[in-house]
């Protein structure tokens, strides 16, 4: 099935048109600076060179129209598209799995939007636009939280007063669920089913771990929002929650200032003082920059600690997988993390770790206590497969 996958943000709209059978990507791109001066679309076709199309994008509706016009210009008429998959960041208490778009399911995306205001409102608007513009094409909602919805209560419940938790729907929702689900699927296929307790390490500019037992999420490091857990590009990850009260009381910061600080000005960026991009930090560390060296040391320390936490939630693990920007590309950072787990017998084969490839591969030594793999993630394909499955029913 030919599926258009859409990932809308407050001022951007990423799209990818792919075939579920062959996995071929026909076109992909990003509408950037929607509603802001200097908007443009970066577009690629059939793996060719990226073109920059400078167009006015006053709102998401105009952006969607441009995307369909671009596809039409590439000879891909809307009626060849079998379905549209929408990535939704927060599914709240309504999406234990992906669902076909109806007035009711679209309403749910809006209802839970206060939990992810920067994403869900824009996503709901774009779903509505596609639903109205192309009534003959099925639309499907695929949320980042669905995979974690059925994790055990002891893992998702917060130790706050029950009435507060119930009133505000506070729990661990997690994120990156589509990626973790894909990683389980691909790893299981690659190892011919010989995997039961997997720690999936999605390390990109946003980063999370997931404990997956026989295909089910048992725990994950992100929480009510994606701020929790690992040290990320610009997010602080887990800190004492009283820090927020302290900054507001003693530092006179507003809620929004603390929110921005913890989401956009912290993490590797704050630690290194150089960049949020791990490549710049690796380079800085190699050149002797002490702050970059400490940023890496802390990243390895926290990530390995939380890997152990994920393993503990399953009472063991047989496999761990690295994925996303850092996980797929940085042999240095993979080694930095795995070296912290040497006490437990986890060991890389340095030669295998250095290999660059777009295919799943084992990088652990033969005598490692746990298999370590690199498996490239593909959230768009996972979304497209859900679209195909739901619309073929
Ligand atoms: P996201 O989807 O969350 O924006 P990605 O999974 O694309 O993130 O990861 C982006 C991050 O991965 C970059 O900020 C950088 O730190 C890291 N990264 C990407 N490519 C490489 C590479 N070739 N080598 C090392 N790190 C990389």
DSSP state of 163: H
Active site residue 144: yes
Report the separation in Å between the CA atom of 28 and the middle of ligand 1, taken as the mean of its atom positions.
18
Q: Whose CA is nearest to atom 20 of ligand 1?
A: 325
233 lines ligand 1 (CB under 6 A): yes
Q: How confident is the model at residue 393 (pLDDT cuts 50, 70, 90)?
A: confident
So what's the pLDDT on residue 46? 86
Phi-psi region at 74: left, alpha or beta (left = phi > 0; alpha = psi -120 to 50): alpha
Find out whether the beta carbon of 336 lies less than 6 Å from any atom of ligand 1: no
- Fold identical between 2-143 and 192-379? yes
Can you tell me the mean pLDDT for 155-171? 97
Judge residue 178's burial from the number of C-beta atoms within 10 Å of its C-beta, 0-12 exposed, 13-18 middle, 19 or more buried: buried
C-alpha to C-alpha distance for 66 and 71, rounded to whole angstroms: 9
Q: Which of 7, 204, 232, 331 to mutate to test the pocket of ligand 1 (most atoms within 8 A of CB)?
A: 204
Nearest CA to 347 out of 358, 356, 338 is that of: 338
Mean pLDDT, residues 175-203: 98
**Ligand 1 mean position, distance from CA 180 (Å):** 17
Q: What are phi and psi of 253, to 5 degrees?
A: -80, 150
Task: State how beta strands 2-8 and 83-88 pair.
Answer: parallel
Helix (H, G, I), strand (E, B) or coil at 198: strand
Q: What is the CATH number of domain 2-143?
A: 3.30.420.40
Tell whether the model's pLDDT for residue 253 goes beyond 90: yes
CA distance linking residue 272 with residue 371, whole number of Å: 31
Rounded (5°) CA angle 50-53-54: 140
**Are the C-beta atoms of 120 and 112 separated by less than 8 Å?**
yes
97 has pLDDT over 90:
yes
Long-range Cβ contacts of 329-332 (<8 Å, 24+ apart) = 330/278, 330/279, 330/282, 332/282
Whether 78 shows a pLDDT value over 90: the answer reads: no
12 CB within 6 A, ligand 1: no
**Domain 192-379: assigned CATH number:** 3.30.420.40
Report CA-CA distances (Å) from 149 to 53, 88, 92.
Answer: 40, 14, 9
Atom of ligand 1 nearest to the CA of 202: 6
Average pLDDT value for residue range 261-290: 97
What residues does each domain of the chain span? Answer: 2-143, 192-379
32, 292, 325, 377, best to mutate for ligand 1 pocket (most atoms within 8 Å of CB): 325
Residue 140: is its pLDDT beyond 90?
A: yes
**Ligand 1 site, residue 277, Cβ cutoff 6 A:** yes
311 ligand 1 Cβ < 6 A:
no
Q: Tell how far the Cα of 205 is from the centroid of ligand 1, in angstroms.
A: 6
| Edge-to-edge order in the sheet of strand 40-45 | 51-53, 40-45, 25-32, 13-19, 2-8, 83-88, 138-143, 99-100
| pLDDT for 75 | 87
Could you say which of 19, 37, 73, 144 is catalytic? 144
CA of 339 to the centre of ligand 1 (A): 21
| CA pair distance 57, 36, nearest whole angstrom | 8
| CB-facing half-sphere around the CA of 233: CA atoms within 13 A | 16
The percentage of residues in the chain with a pLDDT greater than 90, rounded to a whole number, is 94
Give the mean pLDDT of 195-208. 97
Which helix (DSSP H) or strand (DSSP E) does residue 201 occupy? strand 197-203
């Amino acid at each position: 099935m030919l599926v258009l996958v859409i990932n809308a943000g407050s001022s951007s709209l990423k799209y990818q048109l792919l075939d579920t059978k062959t996995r071929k990507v026909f076109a992909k791109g990003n509408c950037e600076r929607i509603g802001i001066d200097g908007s443009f679309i970066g577009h690629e076709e059939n793996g060719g060179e990226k073109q920059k199309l400078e167009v006015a994008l006053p709102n998401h509706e105009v952006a969607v129209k441009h995307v369909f016009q671009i596809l039409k210009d590439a000879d891909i008429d809307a009626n060849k598209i079998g379905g549209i998959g929408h990535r939704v960041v927060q599914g709240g208490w309504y999406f234990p799995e992906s669902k076909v778009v109806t007035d009711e399911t679209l309403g749910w995306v809006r209802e839970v939007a206060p939990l992810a205001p920067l994403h869900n409102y824009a996503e709901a608007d774009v779903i509505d636009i596609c639903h109205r513009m192309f009534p003959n094409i099925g639309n499907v909602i695929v949320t980042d939280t669905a995979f974690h919805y059925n994790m055990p209560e002891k893992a998702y419940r917060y130790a706050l007063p029950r009435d507060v938790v119930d009133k505000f729907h506070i729990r661990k929702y997690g994120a990156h669920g589509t990626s973790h689900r894909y990683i389980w699927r691909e790893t299981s296929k690659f190892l011919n089913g010989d995997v039961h307790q997997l720690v999936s390490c999605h390390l990109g500019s946003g980063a999370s771990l997931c404990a997956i037992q026989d295909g089910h999420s048992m725990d994950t490091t992100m929480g009510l929002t994606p701020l929790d857990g690992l040290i990320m590009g610009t997010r602080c990850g887990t800190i004492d929650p009283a820090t927020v009260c302290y900054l507001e009381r003693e530092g006179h910061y507003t809620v929004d200032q603390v929110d921005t600080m913890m989401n956009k000005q912290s993490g590797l960026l704050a630690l290194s003082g150089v960049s949020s991009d791990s490549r710049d930090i690796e380079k800085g560390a190699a050149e002797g920059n002490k702050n970059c060296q400490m940023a890496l040391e802390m990243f390895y320390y926290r990530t390995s600690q939380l890997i152990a936490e994920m393993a503990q939630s399953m009472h063991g693990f047989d496999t761990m997988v690295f994925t996303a920007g850092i996980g797929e590309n940085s042999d240095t950072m993979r080694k930095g993390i795995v070296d912290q787990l040497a006490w437990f017998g986890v060991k890389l084969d340095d030669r295998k770790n250095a290999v660059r490839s777009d295919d799943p591969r084992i990088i652990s030594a033969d005598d490692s206590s746990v298999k370590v793999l690199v498996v490239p993630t593909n959230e768009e394909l996972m979304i497209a497969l859900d679209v195909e499955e739901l619309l073929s029913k």
